């Protein structure tokens, strides 16, 4: 019997409590408890997605971005510690890029910890490249952030890159849909 692939969907306010648990396990100190509900109900620029285990319904990870004029700014990607190294971060970033493209964004940016080589490599695989540093950006330990960007996410070359990434994900998780359910 084959295992069902994880599912991507747009985050709803009802997901906030479980997402907060993922956030607290994935990051220290993490966002305040009310942050996700506020993002979903009061920030018109915010779009968040969740990755669920298809069997249990548990949220294994989530990600979010802000739609600012023509730029998608990735604000967070988090996966439960016990769910890491399964390709879930790649699925979440693919889902975010689908959201950005659907909303007509032409470029994407993000900040990532200098020390987070795994995330930096993941973003590079999606075509992001480093353009600068924000000194002492992270409040918990004053670590620098690397600024990464990717232009022309609407272009044919980028669509081919995303198709190659999707093919790899689909090989690992046959039947997965990388377009978040509820995307509109």
**Positions marked catalytic:** 111, 123
For residue 113, the number of C-alpha atoms closer than 13 Å in the C-beta half-sphere is 15
* Rounded distance between C-alpha atoms, residue 162 and residue 21, angstroms: 30
Cβ(6)–Cβ(60) below 8 Å: yes
Cβ(6)–Cβ(52) below 8 Å: yes
Which residues sit opposite 51 in a β-bridge?
8, 61
* Rounded distance between C-alpha atoms, residue 153 and residue 65, angstroms: 15
Buried b (16+ CB within 10 A) or exposed e, 154-173: eeeebeebbeebbeebeeeb
Structural tokens at position 167: 């093919």
- Helix, coil or strand: residue 4: coil
């Amino acid at each position: 019997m084959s295992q069902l692939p994880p599912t991507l969907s747009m985050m709803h306010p009802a997901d906030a409590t479980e997402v907060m648990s993922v956030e607290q396990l994935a990051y220290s100190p993490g966002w305040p408890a009310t942050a996700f509900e506020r993002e979903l109900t009061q920030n018109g620029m915010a779009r968040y997605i969740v990755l669920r285990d298809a069997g249990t319904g548990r949220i294994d990870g989530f990600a979010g971005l802000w739609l600012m004029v023509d730029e998608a700014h990735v604000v967070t990607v988090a996966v439960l510690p016990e769910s890491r190294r399964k390709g879930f971060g790649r699925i979440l970033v693919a889902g975010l890029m689908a959201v950005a493209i659907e909303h007509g964004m032409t470029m994407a940016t993000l900040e990532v910890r200098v020390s987070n080589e795994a995330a930096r490599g993941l973003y590079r695989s999606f075509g992001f490249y480093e353009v600068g540093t924000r000194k002492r950006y992270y409040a918990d330990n004053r670590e620098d952030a690397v600024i990464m960007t990717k232009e022309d996410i609407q272009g044919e070359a980028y669509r081919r890159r995303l198709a190659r990434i999707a093919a790899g994900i689909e090989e690992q998780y046959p039947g997965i849909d990388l377009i978040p359910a509820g995307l509109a």
